[in-house]
Amino acid sequence: MDNNNTTVRKIAVIFVTDVVGFSELMQKNENGTLKNLRACRDILDRLFEEHGGRIFNTAGDSVLTEFQSAVSAVICATEFQKLVKQRNLSSPEESQMWFRIGLNMGDVIIEGTNIYGEGVNDAARLEAFCQPGGVSLSKTIYDFASKKVELSFSDLGSQKVKNTVLQVYDVVIDGLEERVLEISTNPVKSIESKSPTIAVMPFKNMSNDEEQEYFSDGVTEDIIANLSSWKSFPVISGNSTFSFKGQDVKSSEVAQQLGADYIVEGSIRKGGNKVRITANLVDAKDDQQVWSKRWDRTLDDIFEVQDEVSQEVATLILPALNGKEQDRIKTKLPASFSAWDSYLKALAIYNQTWAGNDPDEAENAAFIELCDDAIAKDPNLCDAYVLKAKRIYGNLYASENQGQRKENEALFNDLAFQAYSLDPNNPDAVSMYSRSFNIKGNYPQRLKYAKQALDLNPSHAGSNNDYGWALCNEKRFEEAEFYIEKAMEMNPIGRRTYEGLLPFLYMAMADSDKSLEWCNILYDRGSHSRYDGWRAAIYVHLGEIATAKTFLEKFRQQRPEVKTLEDYKKVAPTICIDYLIEGLTPIWEV
């Protein structure tokens, strides 16, 4: 794997610009237009260097740049427009060039030399909304920069920008007319939504050798197969998408004809024993790129490369698509939610709270209400049953819910069975069904269905994680560690979901150092009493009895209902109960 492909998610300031009427200028005078573009780019590059802009993408006339500071981005953008205006005033009309600039601060994902996410998309929307020679910015940029720069701003209010409502501000620039626009008082009209559909277009063979067409087609077909196996979103069949092969048709037109919401497209360039594969995910609604990645590989085993790339495309695209869909419903009113909308809202709560932190009562209630709403509106929506089952499964082991343990077990088993009955080929549904046998103590069936889920989709992070935990029941801990680590590699952004169980694994393996390390990490994320009890046992195994007693005392103060070791056995994780009891026995005082 490339060393520079580390995925980083953060809040960033995004600067997007392009040339007004660039295509028309190119048609009139290609050489002159490129010469003028280079002159303007020299101005922009100097300003980027001065104000700390990091260029990510320069496609044709457009430039995508990240700044560390909203203030720097605003100053840079304004100075650029002023300098371009000065250049235009001293140039003949045919050499003049006007730019639009959009600035936004929001959530982005950086992967090597690629940057994408809703923070980038909103900046692009603002750029398209901007007037020639101007700078348009989001409310987040305005809030940070307005009081720190000697500039004036024009509040345009809420504006409908490419099917999204944004609060827009213009920088007031001398000589540029201030816009007065009608404020959008209503949110974008909601339409009945369903899970979005993906179309994978035939990857273009960019090699000079036409005989390599089979490799491009093979990668395309494998991506379709891998995406289909996830069961998360409907995927258009290859028969339909391959009918467009060789045609010069826009992605938006293809999407309209196929009824697709997202398009996966790419290219393959093969030379000698090396191949370069590029894949992009495009939102057909606003023709915005959601995700992009490039692979450079040697062709020691052509089929191995084909399998690796097609699996990774599916693994990386789906989290990006889920995030895009969650952003889409932020402007919708709850009354207009479809079953799919309610499911996505619940999924957002789950990802924000359960991945590393226990949800509070209000979050848990909101989550359950949204899941129930989704199921009521569409009783056949398997994903809603799966999601609710995941949360109920977590609630089983929360100390504050022990009074409802039996009721929650029955509810989980029912949800898992319904999900599996609705779609026995959905890996998530099969994994939940597998967990129901764990609760019942039927470990052979637990392992059987965990393996079935993994076989349905070996690239599914959750299935790898669940199979690892099923192996623990047979004390196959090293194998379990392999599959759990594989799950975290497949889903680096969501790895916290899996890290919460690592202390169990390392205590079961009697690896006290790693157990303590992960208990400390998880305690810092959420200070639950369970970690004090575990650390008490771990410190006994490490020979630090005084420290162990301190943690045990702290645990017992928080959990007065756990009076004896027999009481503790009822709340201890089954996988590592022997390790815990062996550690606590010497220091437990009745």
Asked if residue 322 is part of any domain, the answer here is no
Helices and strands counted in the chain (H then E): 24, 13
Instruction: Find the domain containing 573 and state its range.
Output: 511-590
- Give dist(CA 252, CA 314) in Å, integer: 21
- What mean pLDDT comes out for the span 74-87? 94
**Residue 80 shares a structural domain with residue 155:** yes
Q: Mean pLDDT over all residues of the chain? A: 82
Given a cut of 90, whether residue 110 has pLDDT beyond it is no
Amino acid found at 141: I
What band does 401 get if pLDDT is binned at 50, 70 and 90? low
Do the domain assignments include residue 79?
yes
Distance between CA atoms of residues 397 and 401, nearest Å: 7
CA–CA gap between residue 340 and residue 321 (Å, rounded)? 14
Check residue 413 and give its pLDDT. 94
Q: Are residues 205 and 95 in the same domain?
A: no
Asked if residues 87 and 155 have their Cβ atoms less than 8 Å apart, the reply is no
The enclosing domain of 473 has a CATH number of: 1.25.40.10
Candidate from 207-216, 422-431, 472-481 with smallest mean pLDDT: 207-216
388 and 463 assigned to the same domain: no
What is the pLDDT, as a whole number, of residue 12? Answer: 81
Element (H, E) at 108: strand 99-111
| pTM for the model | 0.52
Q: What is the pLDDT of residues 154-175, one digit of tens each?
A: 988 888 776 677 889 999 998 8
Q: Are residues 388 and 460 in the same domain?
A: no
Residues 402 and 443 reside in one and the same domain: no
User: Which of 557, 579, 463, 563 minimizes the C-alpha distance to 510?
Assistant: 579
On whether residue 185 sits in a domain, the answer given is no
Q: Give the pairing of strands 99-111 and 135-138.
A: parallel
**Residue 72 is assigned to a structural domain of this protein:** yes
563 inside domain: yes
335-361 pLDDT tens trace: 445 777 788 778 777 766 654 445 567
Both 485 and 518 in one domain: the answer is no
In terms of pLDDT, which residue wins out, 8 or 503? 503
| Judgement on whether residues 33 and 166 belong to the same structural domain of the protein | yes
**pLDDT, tens only, 260-299:** 788 888 888 877 778 888 888 888 777 778 778 888 888 7
Q: Are 102 and 121 in contact (CB under 8 A)?
A: no
The total number of structural domains that make up the chain: 5
Whether 255 maps to a domain, the answer reads yes
Query: Quick one: pLDDT band at residue 188, thresholds 50, 70, 90?
Result: very low
Is 450 a domain residue?
yes
Over residues 42-48, mean pLDDT? 94
What are the helix (H) ranges across 378-460? 382-395, 405-422, 427-439, 443-456
Indicate if the pLDDT at residue 189 is higher than 60.
no
What's 127-194 look like in SS3? HHHCCCCCEEEEHHHHHHHCCCCCCCEEEEEEEEECCEEEEEEEECCCCCCCCCCCCCCCCCCCCCCC
Q: Report the pLDDT averaged over residues 368-394.
A: 89
CATH number where 144 lies:
3.30.70.1230
pLDDT of residue 317: 66
Minimum mean pLDDT range among 80-84, 223-227, 548-552: 223-227
The last residue of one of the domains, among 423, 455, 479, is: 423
Q: Would you state the pLDDT for residue 230?
A: 61
- Count of Cβ atoms closer than 10 Å to residue 514 Cβ: 16
Is 263 found in the same domain as 217?
yes
Maximum Cα–Cα distance across the chain: 93
Q: How far is CA 127 from CA 17, 19, 35, 64, 176, in A?
A: 6, 10, 23, 11, 16
Distance CA 329, CA 331 (A): 5
